[in-house]
Structure 1
Amino acid sequence: MIDVKLKTSPPPTVDENDRRTKAKCLHILNFSKPHGRTFHVAWFSFMIAFTSWYSIAPLKPYIKSDLNLNSEIATSDILAVSANVIFLVTAGLLCDVIGPRRVMATFLLAGSIPVALASLIHNADGLYAIRFFIGVLGACFVPCQFYTTQMYEKNVVGSANAFAGGWGNLGGGFAYILMPLVFNAINSSVNDTNISWRLAMIIPAGLCIIAGLMNIFLADDCPAGDWLKQKKSLENVEVKEVLEASDKMKIDAYVENSEQFESTKKGKFTELSRAFSNPYVLIMMMQYACTFGVELAIDNVIGTFFITQFGLANTSGNFIGAVFGLMNLFSRATGGIVSDYANKKFGIRGRLLSQVSVLLLEGIFLIIFRFSINSLTSAIVVMIFFSFFTQAGCGTTYSIAPYIDPPIYGTIAGLIGTGGTLGGLMFNSIFAHFRSSIPEGFLVTGIIVTVLSLTTFLLKVSGEKIIPIKRLK
């Protein structure tokens, strides 16, 4: 049984007098410091960042009309995703050095500037620049995952990462609810669509500022508190003082934190090289491209697919397509929970088995979707299945990530997230190539995911593979 509970009291396995201790249970309704409050700040901050990152998308028709744009809109979409690659890697490096709290707050506050300045653009070049720099908000995923990895023990970290990441991803759907409501409210007063969409952009900018301040005043970098202060204290503490601790968990936590803080003394480019030279990191990047990357691409085409394939009205087609994104409410978290359960039963091999199973099923249902479009009902049912496994795969992927090279987890988390963004670019290109026959895009995507799911058999994490080496002799 996985220790994910709806409970308001502090986790009983946490020593409240020793803030170095990670929580062994994820209590969803716990808002106390440091674990519960930081968990909720983490996912809420990422949700606001994601909402603001996608805030322009629902307003595209008005922006296109106001600025007299055509293909430039699609180009700005590519720039928004492409820029995120740079910021993701940067976020990972910074989290290892200064901790997630400062990174999350900085990115949110910095991202609020281009979001607000979007209201002042007057041509395509201005839109390009704004969307590029708004891409910094997508990188808030890294400190979100770094937060939960620091706060929760390995037996439940997969669930914590998956819940935080999945609820954060809801921001993509929330943007499509929030921005039209704000636009309509403003337009009902000023009766000018050009002014209304510009004023509407002030709202997500303000939300970014609020979320940034929440990180500064409410969250903790890790159970011990401030990252830099903990780093300094660990540098000064003597080993004999740690060995005198009566609780073995304190020693374990000290060793784990010491290893991670020790890594910050080394050059960050050396760590980046170390991560890039690790073949298992590259495999995880490809697999995250097959989960989050696929999600990004399908978000752009699923509504259009239902509208064109079945002749639905725009509202009806987009509502059905929205189900794909709304599955994040539980699907990504389910992937983390399954991975944690498998880890409890079979160790790290259980996490690897969960990974290959979820990815393989994702690919299979994407392929089936190509041949299930004869009726609206069958298409919706199959979409629900492939959306579930696509998003659950994000959860299983980041349940494995903390085990690959723990001292440089922040860097690795950033690189894996980058893989997802690159996957988004790749699969968007595939769907663009098949724009006159979107179902074929699903078929090709499914084949790619199915093939790459098998790369899980090449992974070696914490000295373990899916098939023990001794069995191969």
Structure 2
Amino acid sequence: MLGEMWQFRGRYKILHMTWFAFFLSFVVWFNLAPLATTVTEAFGLEPGQIKTVAICNVALTVPARIIIGMLLDRYGPRLTYSCLLIYAAIPCIMFACAQNLTQLIISRLLLSIVGAGFVIGIRMVAEWFPPKEIGLAEGIYGGWGNFGSAFSAFTMVGLAGVLSFFPGAFTLSTGEPLNWRVAIATTGVIAAVYGVIYYFNVQDTPPGKVYRRPKSARGLEVTTKGDFWFLMAMNLPLTAILMLLAWRLKGVGFLTDASYPIVLVCLAALYLFQAYNCWAVNKDLMSSKKRYPAEDRYKFKQVAILELTYIVNFGSELAVVSMLPAFFEGTFGLTKALAGMLAASYAFMNLVARPGGGLISDKLGSRRITMAVLTLCMGLGYLVMSSIPAVRDSLGYDAEVGASGALIVLALVMTMACSFFVQAGEGSTFAIVPLIKRRVTGQVAGNVGAYGNVGAVAYLTLYSLLPDGDAGNIRFFQVLGIAAIIVAMLCFFILEEPKGSFAEHHEGEAESAASSVSTEANI
């Protein structure tokens, strides 16, 4: 596969077009961060207000990944991804036209839905690549697409800067610059145009292969009564994290004392509605009218553990990316520009680390052991990062003189090493997801993906409550490390190797390898 992946035909065309769709969705999703200072000055926002706007950027991604997973299984990835990319233009233009904090918050809440696009490509790639190659294929999709966040960080400021050279075209009569607004709107328009291109250039499955759909996409189908109650329990944190976000919105005045309880009641009703839909899908099982044969069952504990792995890898990545520039700046007394460049190395590792994790999963011979080892190494990596302030002090750091180049390089190497295991762990997680139960792959990916955002919000909230400076940073990285080590133990002792992990075909496929190759060549 490594030698063929540079082709732009057959399944490799699908892979490249799909990771680029994910790439654009992340460019859009992260287009605020590099312009946050500019937006703050334009609206006169307080630090707590712009932080809340940033948190809103991930708020609805939690339920959106669940809903999009359902739509994906029902309508297929081609239509679902195209519609999401076209939709991205709407909140981008809304944000670009915003005139007050309320409009900023509403538009970022709507834009957070775009962050759910990741789960769509998981099934698209799984439909075109066999289990024995799924790790690398999903790793390329996730890693190269995830690079959109770093690309946005490096280009949004530059795009706004270029537009500032045309003051007559991008300045209001009042003198207010429009360059940042045009830059953000442009990312949405580009995504929408690509959504149309994507629709007319991909197919859900190779010719002759049937796209398997669940009987109902209202809720996740489980195969035992015990797993149904397990599903209900694992859905609780998804609602709880939204309640936590509502509390943050109340803190900045977006929600009043009167509206806050109403929002909480609505979120509780949302959980009950989701539970009802899951019951409707599984009512025959729960009433004993239906019993799944052994070969058609899957264990929900597999999904639950993957949800936890995504909390500690992708959830921690989102949280660390948010605080890492300030960490380098405060720890070593660096300028904002230099600290930002060093912190960007964490996201840059996505280009190789996530495909690397998928490739290791393909080659090691056990996806369970790969997942466990990478998660354990990630936990140890975060504990090593928690020691950076101590290493700095032991090497005679002088705040007035500043950090030496060697010390900064050492910290950078420690950060990139940890980043590799974090993102390789993400690749390993989604090397397993498509192998759990093929017909509900979209919903499984949606649930696992949503837990990544649960982790991000939980970790960022924790970070906001810790003391500033070294003490808070040390405690933060220690929490990340210990959480990862605990999940690694669950992977070692509870996670099971998926059936057909290295097979030539996915579960339920009847096509022969020769037939698959011949039909693919005709695309």
Q: State whether TM-score is above 0.5.
A: yes
Q: Distance in 2 between matches of 1:442 and 1:404?
A: 31
> Helix, strand or coil for the counterpart of 1:92?
helix
- The residue number in structure 2 matching 1:369 is 385
Q: Distance in 2 between matches of 1:55 and 1:329?
A: 19
Is the aligned partner of 1:282 residue 2:335? no
Q: What is the Cα deviation at residue 460 of structure 1?
A: 2.5
Is the aligned partner of 1:40 residue 2:62? no
Counterpart residue type for residue 370 of structure 1: S
Q: Distance in 2 between matches of 1:161 and 1:287?
A: 16
Gaps of at least 5 residues in structure 1 are 6-26, 225-229, 231-252, 344-349, 466-473
Does the CA contact (< 8 Å) of 2:220 and 2:440 recur in 1? no
- The residue number in structure 2 matching 1:221 is 204
Q: What is the Cα deviation at residue 169 of structure 1?
A: 0.5
- The residue number in structure 2 matching 1:299 is 321
Counterpart residue type for residue 4 of structure 1: L
Alignment map for 1:263-274 (pairs within 5 Å):
263=214, 265-269=215-219, 271=221
Give percent identity, aligned residues only.
Answer: 25
Q: Distance in 2 between matches of 1:463 and 1:149?
A: 15
Q: Distance in 2 between matches of 1:326 and 1:381?
A: 13
| Shift in alpha-carbon separation, 1:217–1:334, aligned structure 2, 3 A | same
> Helix, strand or coil for the counterpart of 2:60?
helix
- The residue number in structure 1 matching 2:252 is none
Counterpart residue type for residue 181 of structure 1: G
| Shift in alpha-carbon separation, 1:318–1:193, aligned structure 2, 3 A | farther
Which range moves more in the overlay, 181-190 or 43-52?
181-190
Q: Distance in 2 between matches of 1:221 and 1:100?
A: 6
- The residue number in structure 2 matching 1:212 is 195
Q: What is the Cα deviation at residue 107 of structure 1?
A: 0.7
CA shift digits 1:242-288 (9 cap, x unpaired):
xxxxxxxxxxx66xx5xx33x2x335325288693622211110111
Structure 2 residue corresponding to 1:404, chosen from 433, 436, 450 = 436
Is the aligned partner of 1:94 residue 2:71? yes
Is the aligned partner of 1:174 residue 2:142? no
- The residue number in structure 2 matching 1:447 is 482
Q: What is the Cα deviation at residue 114 of structure 1?
A: 0.6
Counterpart residue type for residue 44 of structure 2: N
Q: Distance in 1 between matches of 2:137 and 2:94?
A: 35
List 4+ stretches of structure 1 deviating above 3 A: 191-194, 272-275, 461-465
Does the CA contact (< 8 Å) of 2:71 and 2:217 recur in 1? no
- The residue number in structure 2 matching 1:13 is none
Q: Distance in 1 between matches of 2:448 and 2:176?
A: 40
Q: Distance in 2 between matches of 1:376 and 1:210?
A: 42
Q: What is the Cα deviation at residue 450 of structure 1?
A: 1.1
Q: Distance in 2 between matches of 1:154 and 1:179?
A: 38
Does the CA contact (< 8 Å) of 1:37 and 1:218 recur in 2? no
Q: Distance in 2 between matches of 1:435 and 1:154?
A: 46
Structure 2 residue corresponding to 1:54, chosen from 24, 27, 30 = 30
Q: Distance in 2 between matches of 1:406 and 1:56?
A: 36
Q: Distance in 1 between matches of 2:120 and 2:438?
A: 15
TM-score (norm 1): 0.82
Q: What is the Cα deviation at residue 435 of structure 1?
A: 4.9
Structure 2 residue corresponding to 1:151, chosen from 114, 119, 128 = 128
Structure 2 residue corresponding to 1:79, chosen from 56, 59, 63 = 56
Is the aligned partner of 1:462 residue 2:501? no
| Shift in alpha-carbon separation, 1:438–1:412, aligned structure 2, 3 A | same
Q: Distance in 2 between matches of 1:112 and 1:276?
A: 34
Does the CA contact (< 8 Å) of 1:187 and 1:193 recur in 2? no
- The residue number in structure 2 matching 1:353 is 369
Q: CA RMSD in A?
A: 1.9
Does the CA contact (< 8 Å) of 1:55 and 1:179 recur in 2? yes
| Shift in alpha-carbon separation, 1:435–1:78, aligned structure 2, 3 A | farther
CA shift digits 1:189-225 (9 cap, x unpaired):
217663221122221012111220121111111113x
State the structure with bigger RCO (CA 8 A, min sep 6), 1 or 2.
Answer: 2
Q: What is the Cα deviation at residue 361 of structure 1?
A: 0.3
Q: Distance in 2 between matches of 1:105 and 1:193?
A: 35
- The residue number in structure 2 matching 1:201 is 184
TM-score (norm 2): 0.74
Which range moves more in the overlay, 451-460 or 148-157?
451-460
- The residue number in structure 1 matching 2:243 is none
Is the aligned partner of 1:380 residue 2:378? no
- The residue number in structure 2 matching 1:111 is 88
- The residue number in structure 1 matching 2:111 is 134
> Helix, strand or coil for the counterpart of 2:74?
helix
Q: What is the Cα deviation at residue 63 of structure 1?
A: 1.0
Residue-pair matches, total: 402
Does the CA contact (< 8 Å) of 1:63 and 1:194 recur in 2? no
- The residue number in structure 2 matching 1:20 is none
Structure 1 residue corresponding to 2:344, chosen from 322, 329, 335 = 322
Counterpart residue type for residue 36 of structure 2: K
Which range moves more in the overlay, 183-192 or 86-95?
183-192
Structure 1 residue corresponding to 2:423, chosen from 378, 391, 395 = 391
